[in-house]
Structure 1
């Protein structure tokens, strides 16, 4: 929405209209405390239902399989890569180990995927050591 007031009004309209169709919208959450305050506590998500919105910090939530920092309205991505052998198998492991259902880290994994594609084209065996030019890509 363009502003808080429109969003609050839409939220109230949706909560009011859904029962007419036999539906109940619940588990509401928002990165905006004013909007969240407009939702009845019983309809809020359990992670924010008991918060004191004037004092408490909004929690870290999971949305679509990734973390969502509600306070800053950011999707922080934490990557903990372990050192892997400089082989086709190691490149595959690193590229495949990043869970990114929405494609946010795709620009950063593209080089690794391109390297893996090149290694596959050249039929480099899975456990053969890469040369320095390939490994430093």
Structure 2
């Protein structure tokens, strides 16, 4: 009934209730969103906060299911960043990155483990 791409996305690309997925082109993304919304709806789930760097993809999602912008703007180069689970997403360049803010800890085994686990 649904393509293997849809079922594999359900099995492998969700983390709790967050989905991060990349497609080859916008047309595939629109179809994948449509099919995911259908299959999730059959199970009684309504996935909200959809977001994409492609306007065509965003336009294919009903407004009430789209993510409300919570964009951070870098004033130096004008790039926009959106938070994703554990990462920052540069929407314009379509890159993921993370920032590390290490706190000074004592150079003990406990301090090293504390810093390592904070990453």
Q: What range describes the TM-score normalised by the shorter chain of this pair? A: 0.5 to 0.7
Matched, 1:62 2:83: yes
1:45-60 alignment, distance < 5 Å: 45-47=67-69, 59-60=80-81
Q: Secondary structure at the match of 1:96?
A: helix
TM-score, normalization by structure 1: 0.47
Map of 1:27 onto structure 2: 49
Higher strand share: 2
Map of 2:29 onto structure 1: 7
Q: Secondary structure at the match of 1:95?
A: helix
Q: Secondary structure at the match of 1:75?
A: strand
Q: Counterparts of 2:115 and 2:40 in 1: how far apart (Å)? A: 45
1:1-137 alignment, distance < 5 Å: 1-15=23-37, 22-47=44-69, 59-98=80-119
Larger radius of gyration: 1
**2:86–2:98: 8 Å Cα contact kept in structure 1?**
no
RMSD across aligned C-alpha pairs, in angstroms? 3.1
Q: Secondary structure at the match of 2:89?
A: strand
Q: Counterparts of 2:103 and 2:118 in 1: how far apart (Å)? A: 10
- Matched residue pairs, number? 90
Bigger relative contact order (CA 8 A; separation at least 6): 1
